[in-house]
Structure 1
Amino acid sequence: MIAIPAAQVAVGSPESHLDTVAAAQHYPRTWFEDETPQHTITLPAFEIDRTPVTNSMFAEFVTMTGHVSAAERRGYALVYGPDYWTTMDGISWRHPHPDLDAVTDRPHHPVVHLDHTDATTYAIWAGKRLPSEAEWEYAAHGPQWRPWPWGPSWDSARANTAEHWAGQPIHDLATWKAWWRTHYAEHGPAPATTEVGAFTDGSSPFGLVDMAGNVSEWTASAYLLYDRHRRYDPSYHAVADHGHITVRGGGWKSFRWQTRTSERIACSPDYSGPDLGFRCARDLPETTANVLSLIR
């Protein structure tokens, strides 16, 4: 784990940044408006995992506890088919593709197909917890706000995203779908995850890896609007009132804009998917936190 010092932290995107995002891709600015207003909060020191939880790490937890994931109990999971989301029997964290054993074939890839309860249960077993949304963002962009963990400019070589696999920029849905159909024809529903830490040039200022791309990540925070008196797209008000959880980071099939440090996704707690994982955090003892503040 990596110790993160206490700080006053900017959370959310500057208005000017959202103008840039809106002008550069096909979604309207209203799709990103929930990242505003940018505001400053005070966070105590904490620790957070350098990498997402891997298949081998989750397998150890399952061996020790007998935990059965929600997808395994259902007998099926959500995958992205040739054209859209669909369900597939037998898919779970252990078998993200009918011909894949995640533990044997991909031990160091991030674990996927886990809902919020699965992730929280693992964290408790490990003596940790899920990070809050604000902790996650601070760990991703560091003391000063930046749109990607490594800096102000996008670089497809620094993160596992759709643009990495496509080998070209993707700014609209038509280009994404053209890439995806080719990708699916060759790989089917197998997640295009990579070993955690494979993109070391994309590390955050604190040295965390995969904070952009590979898998998006559960947080511990309910999805709430930054300003309840502000009018956002009606869909944001709806999900904020119905117990959704904030997910951060973007995954292997994301556009560059979905992997920004302040991008917010709201998911139902019982959702799981092939590009959603998690990492853990924990509080620092007061003495350690005080020493860390002096060092920093």
Structure 2
Amino acid sequence: MGSGEAAPDGKKPRHLHWVAPYYIALACVTVAQFERFVAATGHDAGEDWKKDRDRPEHPVRYVNWRDARAYCDWAGLRLPTEAEWELAARGYGGLEYPWGDDWEGGRRVCWDKQKGPGGATVPVYAHPEGVSPLGGFQHSGNLWEWCEDAWDEGVYRRYAGGDFRPPEEGKYRLFRGASWGIKYPRYFRAAYRRSDGPASRYGSLGFRPARTVTF
């Protein structure tokens, strides 16, 4: 997990990370799925997410961290930790991108130079050529994806020391994966991480759920 010493703080050091067994969705939650949740619960997620109602198979966007958690609670799921997300994105071999170690001109992702037909997202199962080693779609591109963890710039050094507890408290929440509006390849690396406030809603942010394995 993480990047080498040449990476900015917050993304290093690269380290081995223990992750308990878990499930994670192969794709982001769609507009259709989120609409069923809102209809069933009356959850107030604002109005902007409805802009894509005519694209039910696209990932829902304009959802904040709290909206994502509310959906997961309703569905009996949860948000992934960033360690779980990164493992699903780069596989056990620690690839640079979900499909391999080379950018390849961005032909495998939805990004600034290869957007969807509406000038933004593509359906959640588009670009199968960019699938991750564990079968996940669009871990790079289309939308940034909320994770459960709070932002902690120094947490990787704690992880490298063997303390794998993710940070729970903090002003900001993590998201991963880059989006349709990004034009710089470095943002699409599986180790790249960003954060924002849990109330933030953008047209570049969505989520994919996870679930704990119980024995």
On whether the aligned pair clears a TM of 0.5, the verdict is yes
How many residues in Structure 1 have an aligned counterpart in Structure 2?
Answer: 203
Q: Which runs of 4+ in 1 moved over 3 A?
A: 226-230
Q: 1:19-168, aligned counterparts within 5 Å?
A: 32-69=8-45, 71-72=46-47, 92-95=48-51, 102-103=52-53, 105-155=54-104, 156-165=106-115
Structure 1, unaligned stretches of length 5 or more?
1-10, 19-31, 73-91, 96-101, 166-186, 231-240, 287-296
Deviation at 1:228, TM superposition (A): 8.3
1:13 partnered with 2:3: yes
Distance (Å, rounded) in 1 between the aligned partners of 2:156 and 2:81: 19
SS at match of 2:49: coil
Deviation at 1:42, TM superposition (A): 0.9
The percent of aligned pairs where both chains have the same amino acid is 35
Deviation at 1:164, TM superposition (A): 2.1
Contact kept, 8 Å, 1:37 with 1:227, in 2: the verdict is no
Distance (Å, rounded) in 1 between the aligned partners of 2:157 and 2:82: 21
1:245 partnered with 2:193: no
Distance (Å, rounded) in 2 between the aligned partners of 1:153 and 1:280: 27
Aligned position for 2:166: none
Higher relative strand content: 1
Contact kept, 8 Å, 2:80 with 2:210, in 1: the verdict is yes
1:265 partnered with 2:214: no
- TM (norm. structure 1) is 0.65
Deviation at 1:163, TM superposition (A): 2.8
Higher relative helix content: 1
The change in CA–CA distance for 1:191 and 1:221 in structure 2 (over 3 A counts) is farther
Distance (Å, rounded) in 2 between the aligned partners of 1:151 and 1:124: 34
Greater Rg, structure 1 or structure 2?
A: 1
SS at match of 1:94: helix
- TM (norm. structure 2) is 0.88
Residue identity in the other structure for 2:30: T
Higher relative contact order (CA 8 A, sep 6+): 2
What does the per-residue CA deviation read over 1:215-237, in whole Å, with 9 as the maximum and x for residues that have no partner? Answer: 0000000111235889xxxxxxx
